[in-house]
Amino acid sequence: MVLDTRLIVGLGNPGKEYENTRHNIGFLTVAALAEKLRIKPSRLTQQSLVGEGQWGGMKVVIAQPQTYMNLSGSAVRGLVRSYRPEQSSLLVVFDDLDLPLGKLRMRKSGGAGGHKGMESIIESLGTPEITRLRIGVGRPETKSSVVGYVLSRFDPEEQEILQQVVDQAVQGILVWLKRGLNPAMNQVNSWPEKPRAKKEEPPAE
């Protein structure tokens, strides 16, 4: 029996120096998804760290390209050729400067929006018809600091919000896997713009 294959690709940069940076929120999200589905991304293939498993009667492939962000298309093209998912069964997860931290957007197609990783994927696959989950990381105050900003880590207050955002993104991907794109978009795109960090309760007197 041949199972329907779903390919979920989280974008980021490999290497310790890039761990937990804003530009690696795609990596963080698919890692959390893999843990949720008990899939271990442990194999290097098609320039990506890949894990495979079964969930909900389908084959789920979770990948983190190891090419660095700007060359993500080369890895994704190889993964698509290797696993041969239907076009609608590919989902790319990545950070978005134009959305505030806490805002999620799922769409079935569109441009790259200035994101070099997505730009590379669209060019390599030859189509903008790629389902994507954009995760807001906010934008710095000055354009000159964009590169430094996306390669920076979240501050302590943002860390708590980040965990909520990643959890919400994972839940959205699970809806996409189980029920399809439209229910997933309805759920993901209606989430609040900015989850609040929990306030510490004052100590009892």
Is there a domain that residue 194 lies in?
no
pLDDT of residue 194: 53
Catalytic residue set: 23
Is there a domain that residue 23 lies in?
yes
Range with the poorest average pLDDT among 14-18, 21-25, 73-77, 198-202? 198-202
Q: What mean pLDDT is predicted for residues 50-54?
A: 97
Is there a domain that residue 51 lies in?
yes
Strand-strand pairing, 43-45 and 90-96: unpaired
Is there a domain that residue 175 lies in?
yes
pLDDT of 74 strictly over 80: yes
Is there a domain that residue 201 lies in?
no
pLDDT of 198 strictly over 70: no
pLDDT of residue 205: 39
Is there a domain that residue 203 lies in?
no
pLDDT of residue 144: 64
pTM for the structure as a whole: 0.91
Are the beta carbons of 102 and 195 closer than 8 angstroms?
A: yes
For 115-143, write each residue's pLDDT tens digit: 999 999 999 999 999 999 999 999 887 76
pLDDT of residue 193: 57
Q: What is the CATH number of the domain that holds 66?
A: 3.40.50.1470
Domain count within the chain: 1
Are the beta carbons of 62 and 6 closer than 8 angstroms?
A: no
For 164-185, write each residue's pLDDT tens digit: 999 999 999 999 999 999 999 9
Give SS3 for 116.
helix
**What is the SS3 assignment for 52-65?**
EEEECCEEEEEEEE
**Confidence category of residue 195, pLDDT binned at 50, 70, 90:** low
Give the residue numbers spanning the domain of 107. Answer: 5-188
Q: What mean pLDDT is predicted for residues 195-199?
A: 52
Is there a domain that residue 197 lies in?
no
Is there a domain that residue 196 lies in?
no
Amino acid at 89: S
